[in-house]
């Protein structure tokens, strides 16, 4: 499964003159239990998909998939986004399914929408008990794809005023999960009318999001 996912992803960055594939890949939103609002930012992924199509030459469908963390359908999505403001609970079976998905070549982007941090750390310890989140240095390639972010993640919303931080979970030197904290990237992907963010803030959020997508498919 790992190689199938990787090869599918690489096809997204083929020469633009090549025929478009019959079935478009979708970005996906992860549905989880625990009471947290996994469904936050409903306009975010369509806007990110459109931005990637325009700037990276990808061919994502503009509608996104929604997938339960314990579902076999998870394997249909090479790139999965997770967000929310509150509690996250994985059952043992769900944690095992997510682990197998990530070991098989999948990629998970977690974006703390404010208040998720203490819960997601516990949940991901179930998935990778042998690993811990490590903060990525600013010279990590995820910050230097098509768009260059020499100071790391952009700050979209202030909340507690803490600096934005990017954390990673690795398996055999492969980044399988990227966790963006105190940045609110997903808010910056939403329709302009949702948060009324300045154009330059929304652009930075979408550019960093495109970097995460590009890195996941090319690493």
- Domain residue ranges in the chain: 2-218
**Residue labelled with tokens 């954390």:** 167
Q: Per-residue pLDDT tens for 168-202?
A: 999 999 999 999 999 999 999 999 888 788 999 99
| Res 23: pLDDT | 64
Check: CB of residue 183 under 8 Å from CB of residue 153: yes
Q: Tokens at residue 110, please?
A: 């977690």
Q: Per-residue pLDDT tens for 26-50?
A: 999 999 999 989 999 999 999 999 9
Q: Which residue has the higher pLDDT, 155 or 10?
A: 155
Mean pLDDT, residues 110-125: 95
56-84: buried (b, 16+ CB within 10 Å) or exposed (e) per residue? bebbbeeebbbbebbeeebbebbbbbbbb
Check: CB of residue 126 under 8 Å from CB of residue 95: yes
The CATH H-level superfamily of 2-218 is Domain of unknown function DUF4159 (3.40.50.12140)
Residue 93 has pLDDT above 60, yes or no: yes
| Res 21: pLDDT | 45
81-118-142-150 Cα dihedral, nearest 10 degrees: 130
Q: Per-residue pLDDT tens for 138-173?
A: 999 999 999 999 999 999 988 788 999 999 999 999
């Amino acid at each position: 499964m790992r190689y199938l996912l990787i090869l599918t992803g690489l096809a997204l960055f083929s020469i633009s003159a090549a025929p478009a594939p019959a079935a478009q890949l979708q970005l996906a939103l992860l549905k989880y239990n625990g009471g947290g609002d996994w469904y936050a930012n409903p306009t975010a992924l369509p806007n990110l998909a459109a931005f990637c199509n325009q700037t990276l030459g990808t061919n994502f469908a503009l509608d996104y998939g929604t997938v339960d963390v314990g579902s076999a359908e998870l394997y249909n999505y090479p790139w999965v986004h997770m967000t929310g403001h509150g509690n996250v609970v994985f059952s043992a079976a769900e944690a095992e399914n997510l682990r197998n998905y990530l070991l098989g070549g999948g990629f998970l982007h977690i974006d703390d929408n404010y208040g998720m941090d203490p819960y997601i750390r516990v949940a991901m310890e179930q998935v990778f008990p042998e690993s811990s989140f490590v903060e990525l240095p600013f010279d990590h390639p995820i910050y230097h794809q098509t768009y260059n972010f020499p100071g790391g993640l952009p700050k979209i919303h202030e909340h507690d005023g803490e600096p934005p931080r990017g954390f990673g979970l690795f398996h055999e030197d492969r980044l399988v999960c990227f966790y963006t904290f105190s940045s609110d990237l997903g808010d910056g992907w939403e329709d302009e009318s949702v948060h009324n963010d300045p154009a330059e803030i929304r652009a930075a959020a979408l550019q960093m999001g495109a970097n995460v997508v590009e890195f996941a498919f090319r690493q």
